[in-house]
């Protein structure tokens, strides 16, 4: 297959690209290499991908319709996999307009480019953040999502709704995949596990928000990537599908696991809860199992071990 993969240089995108290239698909990546974290890391990933198989990269900005048009070019793509976005709850509080422009307007640019070319298959990266302060666990795709707690969450939910509009109007089929707290080798340095591992390893204070009872459904990046590739192969209709690890891990449990793997105790700096943070995320993955054959296989402790090992190799 020939696949346009936006965000191919990112954490999840590069993992998806590796799987696709391993099975001999052709991948055209699209990224803006912004400075949300070190662009050199992203450029090194695209160089690695080019060595793995038939991969090319188009540099451009989702917010600019002309850049998106250039990425599509004259190619006839079998599937568009739209993973590029501005990510993160806390950064979205600092610059909500950037998140609206990139995640909503940028997604519309992708949909419009598909519509003009008659392309009909789209896989989209959404987020468990859309569930807001949902207290019913596990979170099901049919749960009400009318109370987002951050601009990031609101932008992802709005993008999901645009997918439904384009399915209704133009027959574009889509799977919107709600990722639950992805972690693993190569993850963004601002995310909790990367931050905790680095600070504890260096013997520095760890900012510890709240009482430690908040929980996240951590999902190893290889499990997420396998789910995305399955969606690329099977996208049909217009569906929203959870991709999670199926077992929430509390902040206290996360800290204890990292301490165990590192063999070192943390020095904590206790702080109040952060604005925008939800108390728990927990995925109901029955739909993913049915439609995608999805089955997460990496335990949290094993995933943390793999992440720590990867930091020791760099």
Confidence of residue 134 (pLDDT cuts 50, 70, 90): confident
What gap in Å lies between CA 146 and CA 167, rounded to an integer? 21
Q: Model confidence over 75-131: pLDDT tens digits? A: 899 999 999 999 988 899 999 999 999 999 999 999 999 999 999 999 999 999 999
Examine residue 149 and state whether it is found in any structural domain, yes or no: yes
Give the global pTM: 0.94
What gap in Å lies between CA 110 and CA 62, rounded to an integer? 8
Q: Among 161, 232, 247, 173, which residue's Cα sits nearest to residue 3?
A: 232
Structural domain count of the chain: 1
> Where residue 86 sits, what CATH number does that domain have?
3.40.50.720
What gap in Å lies between CA 86 and CA 75, rounded to an integer? 26
Q: Model confidence over 31-87: pLDDT tens digits? A: 999 988 889 999 999 999 999 999 999 999 999 999 999 999 988 999 999 999 999
Q: Model confidence over 72-89: pLDDT tens digits? A: 998 899 999 999 999 988
Examine residue 192 and state whether it is found in any structural domain, yes or no: no
Q: Model confidence over 158-205: pLDDT tens digits? A: 999 999 999 999 999 999 999 999 999 999 888 889 999 999 999 999
Examine residue 171 and state whether it is found in any structural domain, yes or no: yes
- Report residue 213: phi and psi, to 5°: -90, -10
- What confidence score (pLDDT) does residue 22 get? 97
Q: Which residue has the higher pLDDT, 132 or 173?
A: 173
Q: Which domain does 56 fall in, by range? A: 2-182+219-244+282-296
pLDDT at 153 over 90: yes
- What confidence score (pLDDT) does residue 135 get? 79
For residue 255 the two structure tokens come to: 């800290």
Examine residue 270 and state whether it is found in any structural domain, yes or no: no
Catalytic residue positions, numbered: 152
pLDDT at 276 over 70: no
Contacts 24+ apart (CB under 8 A), 108-114: 108/162, 109/62, 109/63, 109/64, 109/65, 109/68, 110/6, 110/62, 110/68, 110/80, 110/82, 111/162, 111/163, 111/166, 111/172, 112/65, 113/68, 113/69, 113/71, 113/72, 114/72, 114/80, 114/166, 114/172
Examine residue 204 and state whether it is found in any structural domain, yes or no: no
Q: Which residue has the higher pLDDT, 257 or 214?
A: 257
Q: What share of the chain has pLDDT > 70, as a percent?
A: 99
Examine residue 276 and state whether it is found in any structural domain, yes or no: no
Residue 119 CB contacts under 8 Å (≥ 6 apart), including other chains = 76, 77, 80, 113, 172
Examine residue 119 and state whether it is found in any structural domain, yes or no: yes
Examine residue 144 and state whether it is found in any structural domain, yes or no: yes
CB-based contact 155:92 (threshold 8 Å): yes
Task: State the average pLDDT for the chain.
Answer: 94
CA 16 to chain centre: 11
Please give the C-alpha separations between residue 222 and each of 19, 84, 187, 277, in angstroms, as whole numbers.
9, 18, 12, 25
Q: Which residue has the tokens 């690695």?
A: 48
Average pLDDT over residues 152-159: 97
Please give the C-alpha separations between residue 138 and each of 243, 259, 281, in angstroms, as whole numbers.
12, 28, 8
What gap in Å lies between CA 285 and CA 292, rounded to an integer? 10
CB-based contact 27:6 (threshold 8 Å): no
- Cross-strand bridge partners of residue 222: none
- HSE, side-chain direction, 13 A CA sphere, residue 11: 24
Q: Model confidence over 205-245: pLDDT tens digits? A: 998 888 888 889 999 999 999 999 999 999 999 999 999 99
Q: Among 243, 238, 223, which residue's Cα sits nearest to residue 285?
A: 243
What gap in Å lies between CA 61 and CA 51, rounded to an integer? 24
Q: Among 140, 271, 258, 130, which residue's Cα sits nearest to residue 194?
A: 258
CB-based contact 224:243 (threshold 8 Å): yes
pLDDT at 313 over 80: no
Tell me the pairing of strands 182-183 and 238-243. unpaired
- What confidence score (pLDDT) does residue 290 get? 97
- What confidence score (pLDDT) does residue 314 get? 59
Sign of CA dihedral 307, 57, 118, 169: positive
* DSSP secondary structure code for residue 79 in this structure: E
Please give the C-alpha separations between residue 31 and each of 9, 123, 177, 229, in angstroms, as whole numbers.
7, 17, 20, 19
């Amino acid at each position: 297959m020939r696949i346009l993969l936006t965000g191919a240089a990112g954490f999840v995108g590069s993992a998806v690209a590796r799987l696709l290239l391993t099975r001999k698909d052709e991948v055209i990546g699209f990224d803006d290499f912004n400075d949300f974290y070190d662009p050199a890391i992203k450029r090194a990933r695209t160089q690695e991908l080019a060595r793995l198989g038939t991969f090319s990269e188009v540099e451009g900005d989702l917010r600019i319709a002309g850049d998106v048009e250039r990425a599509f070019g004259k190619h006839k793509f079998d599937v568009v996999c739209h993973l590029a976005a501005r990510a993160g709850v806390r950064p979205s509080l600092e610059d909500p307009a950037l998140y609206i422009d990139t995640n909503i307007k940028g997604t519309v640019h992708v949909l419009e480019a598909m519509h003009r070319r008659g392309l009909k298959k789209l896989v989209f990266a959404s987020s468990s953040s859309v569930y807001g302060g949902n207290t019913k666990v596990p979170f099901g795709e049919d749960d009400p999502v009318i109370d987002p707690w951050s601009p990031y969450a609101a932008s992802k939910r709005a993008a999901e709704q645009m997918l439904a509009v384009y399915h209704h109007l133009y027959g574009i089929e889509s799977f919107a995949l709600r990722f639950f707290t992805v972690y693993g080798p190569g993850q963004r340095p601002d995310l909790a596990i990367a931050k905790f591992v680095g600070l504890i390893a260096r013997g520095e204070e760890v900012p510890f928000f709240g009482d430690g009872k908040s929980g996240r459904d951590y999902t190893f990046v290889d499990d997420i990537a396998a789910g995305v590739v399955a969606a690329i192969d099977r996208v049909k209709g217009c569906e929203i599908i959870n991709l999670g690890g199926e077992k929430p891990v509390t902040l206290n449990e996360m800290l204890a696991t990292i301490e165990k793997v590192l063999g070192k105790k943390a020095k904590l700096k206790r702080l109040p809860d952060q604005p925008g943070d939800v108390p728990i995320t927990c995925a109901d993955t029955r739909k993913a199992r049915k439609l995608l054959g999805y089955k997460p296989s990496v335990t949290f402790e094993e995933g943390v071990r793999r992440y720590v090992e990867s930091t020791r190799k760099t």
